[in-house]
Structure 1
């Protein structure tokens, strides 16, 4: 791959390929990268306001897709959504998150194969500085 493209190209291409890789890896579980992102955030914060979280990821998923993902998690009994739009795990959802998390660690390891922890941390630091710089 050439190294003379603008940084935006690399960012978009990496995101596109990460999404395709994770969607393919999660296909056997009938979930997508976005299911996993939602589950991670719920695990981190105990709950999310679905509309607020959608605002964070709407550049990668549209409102209809997001709604379908939340509905699929409701249908599986993994989450509940309150009248205040607060989405939280059920006991079954917590168990699914733990099970999928174990699988995800192995799959992420394959995706990051050959990248050292120092390289990963540097990449995150550089990207964060770009974000802060252009705020």
Structure 2
């Protein structure tokens, strides 16, 4: 029966499990997956609020991203200067503490898949997204 389910069912179920699993990984720091996504995005360099919201548009509204940024700023992990958000040294340390656990979680997700199978899965999903985006340009994302 499971093999007969459509791709949408599998994508939705995987998303639910990824959300819950990553929340569990970062919970020790009192964080959610959104916190991790903001930390990880800023770990690659400073960003404007707009750039950050755009990068996370598939996961959260700009208001939700701002709320997460405010929480991380209250912890002393994110600072804003000259219109750009950046990790503080404490924020970089927090990212470093979490990065290994997140990487281990990602390895568990892909366990049993060869590098080629994983790449083919991602490529197939990316193609499906591109197909649907091409059919509905300008369609707002949730």
- Cα deviations by residue, 1:16-42 (Å, 9 ceiling, x for unpaired): 110011102211111111111112221
Q: Residues 57, 9 of structure 1: CA spacing in aligned structure 2 closer, same or farther, 3 A cutoff?
A: farther
Q: Which moved more, 1:34-43 or 1:47-56?
A: 47-56
Task: State the partner residue of 1:39.
Answer: 39
RMSD between superposed Cα atoms in Å: 2.1
Written as runs of structure 1 = structure 2, the 5 A alignment for 1:121-132 is 121-132=119-130
TM-score normalized by the length of structure 1:
0.82
Cα distance in 2, alignment partners of residues 7 and 53 from structure 1: 29
Structure 1 position 64, deviation (Å): 4.4
Query: C-alpha displacement at 1:113, in angstroms?
Result: 2.2
Q: How many residues align?
A: 133
Cα distance in 2, alignment partners of residues 49 and 73 from structure 1: 15
Name the counterpart of 1:93. Answer: 91
Report the CA distance shift for 1:12/1:53 in structure 2 as closer, same or farther (over 3 A): farther
What is the CA distance between 1:63 and its match in structure 2? Answer: 4.4
TM superposition score normalised by structure 2: 0.79
Residue deviations 1:57-107 (CA, integer Å, cap 9, x gap): 3443344432321112101111112352x2111122112212211222222
Unpaired segments of 5 or more residues in structure 1? none
Alignment of 1:6-25 (within 5 A): 6-25=6-25
Give the whole-Å Cα distance in 2 for the aligned partners of 1:101 and 1:51: 24
Residues 117, 7 of structure 1: alpha-carbon distance in 2 compared, 3 angstrom cutoff:
same
Structure possessing the higher relative contact order (Cα contacts under 8 Å, 6 or more residues apart):
2
Identify unmatched segments of 5+ residues in structure 2.
134-142
CA contact (8 A) 2:38 2:68 kept: no
Matched, 1:61 2:60: yes
Asked if structure 1 preserves the Cα contact closer than 8 Å seen for 2:25 and 2:101, the reply is no
